[in-house]
Amino acid sequence: MKILYFDHISGTPIHPDVKKVMINYINNNYGNPVSQHSLGDAASEALETAREQTAALINAKPQEIVFTSGGTESINHAIKGVAMATHDKGKHIITSNIEHQSVSKSLRMLMRMGYHVTSLPVDNYGLVDPKDVERAITNETVLVTIMHANNEIGTIEPIAEIGKITRARGIIFHTDAIASAGVIPFDVDAMGVDLVSMAANQFYGPSGVGALYIRPKTRILPIIEGGMQENGQRAGTENMVGIVGMGKAAELAKNEMPQRIQHLRQLRQTWIDKVKTIEAIEINGHPTECLPHLVSFSVHYVEGESMILMLDEKGICASTRSACASGSLRASHVLLATGCDYAAAQGTLIFSFGIMNTMEELDRAMEVFKDAVVFLRNMSPLYKKKST
């Protein structure tokens, strides 16, 4: 049975060209970029090539890119690093209600240390109002951290507008662009951001490697101390195989982006059209300001985990944020923040498509999905109650 993979937001497969570059690197180089011999020089060269490729993806300069162990580390670095560097200026941070846990938990830690955090609400589409950001700013505010695209509902936030506000007020602005960087265009200057977190496994690079963009003169300290790697911003010998993979993946993503987006949009729209033929299903997120490859929908009267299990039985991989499927046993904070009710949040699935997916795959997935919904609804006491 061929696996149909619709969970690219959890991690993409590695692109064949990226694999080649990584294997080639493993076969030919094991030098440490700081070493002053030929193998060290070769490693250093590979590192800087990857840095150029990664910088180009978001219209940054190579020296502004710090490689990390992934999106989570980038976010921790941005938030905690700024807090440590600016604690004499103030202890107020602005964020939104729909951030990833890497953001909200980093902030929770700072709150224990005396920081105040303003968490902004979102509308029914999951959009933050830039005016709310402006209103929330105080003399104590040192950082605004709001995600670029939401990883659960796909809504794209008005980052450029928020960037204008933070620039005018001289406040550092971090955006978590993990779900979007490498998928849709991102320009650090047009967005007016100072810090950007990204991860390679969202654009067909390997997992365990990411990057943090740092605008020059941004007040930030490293959170991992040691040697002078990464311009003093991230100590420790680089994950070279991962980094060369990320560089290649970034290059491919930049070059192929228009075609990729077109293909992904088609897949997404086709899936939405198919899903809409079933009664009592709602599409979540913004209708136009959204990621091209992700769709979240709530299937009423059934629970998400049981749907995922049924799909998985037939080789279809998707994801849910229902309480039952999460470690915390709470319904998705993102869906609740958009005003989705508890029961509907429990029946929410996330399909995220990739460049290797085809229209034929959607046909097969739809057959299985329909059967699963009918099977589970027939068993549900909520469904019967509605129909009688």
From 135, 167, 276, 384, residue interacting with other proteins (rule: CB under 8 A): 384
Q: How far apart are CA 88 and CA 186, in angstroms?
A: 32
Closest CA to 192 of 221, 219, 215: 215
Q: How many residues bind other proteins (CB under 8 A)?
A: 24
Q: Where are the beta strands (DSSP E) in the chain?
A: 4-5, 65-68, 92-96, 116-120, 141-145, 172-176, 195-199, 210-214, 281-284, 294-299, 316-317, 319-320, 348-352
| 3-class DSSP assignment, residue 17 | helix
User: 124 Cβ partners below 8 Å, 6+ apart?
Assistant: 338, 339
**Burial environment of residue 114 by CB neighbours within 10 A (0 to 12, 13 to 18, 19 or more):** exposed
Q: Which range of residues in 36-44, 94-102, 108-116, 318-326 is near other proteins by CB under 8 A?
A: 318-326
The sign of the CA dihedral 178, 181, 182, 184 is positive
16-28 and 240-275 are packed helices; what angle lies between their axes, rounded to 10 degrees?
Answer: 170
Q: Are 33 and 43 in contact (CB under 8 A)?
A: yes
- 372 lies in the binding site for other proteins (CB under 8 A): no
- 190 lies in the binding site for other proteins (CB under 8 A): no
Q: Which range of residues in 95-103, 203-211, 243-251, 320-328 is near other proteins by CB under 8 A?
A: 320-328
According to DSSP, the residues that pair with 173 across neighbouring strands are: 144
From 41, 313, 367, 371, residue interacting with other proteins (rule: CB under 8 A): 313
- 374 lies in the binding site for other proteins (CB under 8 A): no
> Interaction with other proteins in 337-366: which residues (CB under 8 A)?
342-343, 346
* Of 59 and 380, CB closest to other proteins: 380
Taking the complex as a whole, the smallest distance from the CB of residue 382 to other proteins amounts, in Å, to 5
* Of 228 and 329, CB closest to other proteins: 329
Q: Which range of residues in 211-219, 241-249, 250-258, 323-331 is near other proteins by CB under 8 A?
A: 323-331
The residue assigned the tokens 């020059």 is: 216
> Interaction with other proteins in 278-307: which residues (CB under 8 A)?
301-306
From 322, 332, 338, 357, residue interacting with other proteins (rule: CB under 8 A): 322
- 113 lies in the binding site for other proteins (CB under 8 A): no
- 325 lies in the binding site for other proteins (CB under 8 A): yes
Question: So which residues are the catalytic ones?
Answer: 324
Binding site for other proteins (CB under 8 A): 301-306, 309, 313, 322-325, 327, 329, 331, 342-343, 346, 378-382, 384
